[in-house]
Amino acid sequence: FGKTIVETNFKELKFRFFNIAAVATLAVLTISFTTYTYKESPFMFRPGVTRDWVTPWYPTRLVEFLKDLKIPGPMYNFYTWGGYLIWSLYPQYRVFIDGRALDDLINRTADSVLKTFPGWENQLNAYNINFIIIPVIFRESGHAIPLAMALANDPKWKLVFIRNNSAIFV
């Protein structure tokens, strides 16, 4: 299409008119979109609202509960929540793992603990984990998370918070 346009001679047409029309259309569409977005989603543009952008998949209520309760660490956390937990809880808490996947040993350890592979309890003990922050259900599959089921049935661990698929075990 582009080659055809270039090969066609439009000597009688003035492209200045088309450029002005394109810029005007772009300006109208930008102003319309911004106005609509500002009215429909005010948290995107208005100052003073800091956490409304967070999706429902992150444990916002769990974080607020943890800030009030002040459970001593160290903690084990769900891999996907690591970045959000750093953003919300640092410097009071350090995460066990986050989405950057910086250390292969920690990645394998976190995965084996979450899936309760043999020796998962020893791995938690090796890192002196005092509390665990995980979802109860995998969002993608709808299956129960093995660690959540194991902790719920283990008398050494107590469930102190559960809401919106977020749980804290101490």
The 10s digit of each residue's pLDDT in 93-140 is: 999 999 888 899 999 999 999 999 999 999 999 999 999 999 999 888
| Percent of residues, the chain, with pLDDT higher than 70 | 79
Count CB-CB contacts under 10 A for residue 136: 17
Output 104 or 53, whichever has higher pLDDT: 104
Peptide bond into 91 cis (omega under 30): yes
- Give the whole-angstrom CA distance, residue 131 versus residue 116: 16
Look-up of token digits 């040993």 = 105
Query: What tens digit of pLDDT does each residue of 14-42 get?
Result: 667 777 888 888 888 888 877 766 555 54
Question: Which pLDDT value is given to residue 33?
Answer: 78
Do strands 75-77 and 166-169 pair parallel, antiparallel, or not at all (unpaired)? unpaired
Per-residue confidence at 49, pLDDT binned at 50, 70, 90?
A: very low
| Percent of residues, the chain, with pLDDT higher than 90 | 58
Question: Which pLDDT value is given to residue 37?
Answer: 61
Question: Which pLDDT value is given to residue 131?
Answer: 97
Q: Which of 46-60, 78-92, 103-117 has the lowest mean pLDDT?
A: 46-60
The mean of the pLDDT values for the chain is 85
Question: Which pLDDT value is given to residue 92?
Answer: 93
